[in-house]
A = this chain, B = another copy of it.
Amino acid sequence: MRVLLINPNTTQSITQLLLRAGQAVASPGTEIIALTAVRGVPCIATRAEALLGSATVLEMIAEHQNRADAVIVGAFGDPGLFGARELFDLPVLGMSEASMLTACMLGRRFSIITFARALRPWYVDCVEMHGLSGRCASVRTLPGSFVSITEIQEEKEALLIELANAAVEQDDADAIILAGAPLAGMANKVKDCVPVPLVDPIQSAVKQAEGLFALAPRKPTAGTFRRPDPKSTLGLPEPLASRIEHRANSDREGVYL
């Protein structure tokens, strides 16, 4: 299967981090096509940035949907996820959703940890959006700043491990999600340093995408994720306008139909 990995951040090195981490767990037949946003901010960290990223995600899926069997939104707060799910005919996965659902099988309650304080409100909103607050022990973040967004794993390794252990000891976390695209691939490296399972969002999303592809659920024609009725548009990029207006070239043949 082909998985479209949409990075709504404009930083290509983050896309590469996500791609490598995803490939490390992908099944033999899975090809991951990774794309980087050409509009937005280097690393989405707040609600406003996430909203801008959401629009970008929809535009990017509209343009590239024919190249894939499933889409992964490559930013932890799942920007654009529910909108994409209703608009398009293929499975769309979010890194935060996939990792939280995976964590639910590994513990009664999970904690989310990440590298920057600014991310916390958006992540808390995200847990609530998924109706999983009752399963979330805490969202913890590191204080202070960092040198380079693409070398955070090395720079902050000790502090992140300490943070994870604090969540286990003080918040009753049974599992820890290492959240934020710049931490992609880190969970496996430090798994021996924390006494509970560590969950890697992009890797969880790749496995969940493969699972959904195999289960081949139909595209709903009822319920909250049915495709919206056609509607005229103004000033939108052509592929997205075409999809919203139900123009013929906006359909695809896929697993989901």
**A interface vs B, CB < 8 Å?**
10, 25, 27, 37-43, 45-52, 54-55, 58, 80, 82-84, 86-87, 91, 93, 97-98, 101-102, 104-108, 118, 120-121, 124-125, 128-132, 134-135, 168-169, 172-175, 188, 191-192, 195-200, 203-204, 207-208, 210-212, 214-218, 220-226, 228-229, 231-236, 240, 244
Contacts and interface: CB of A to CB of B under 8 A. Distances in A.
B220 A174 contact: yes
Contacts of A51: 51, 54-55, 58, 80, 83
Given A10-B234, A105-B208, A196-B220, A118 B229 contact: yes
A129 B236 CA distance: 27
Contacts of A43: 231
B54 A234 contact: no
A155 B196 CA distance: 32
Nearest to A45: B228
B102 A211 contact: yes
A32 to B, nearest CB: 14
Given A40-B235, A51-B80, A135-B131, A199 B174 contact: no
A59 B117 CA distance: 25
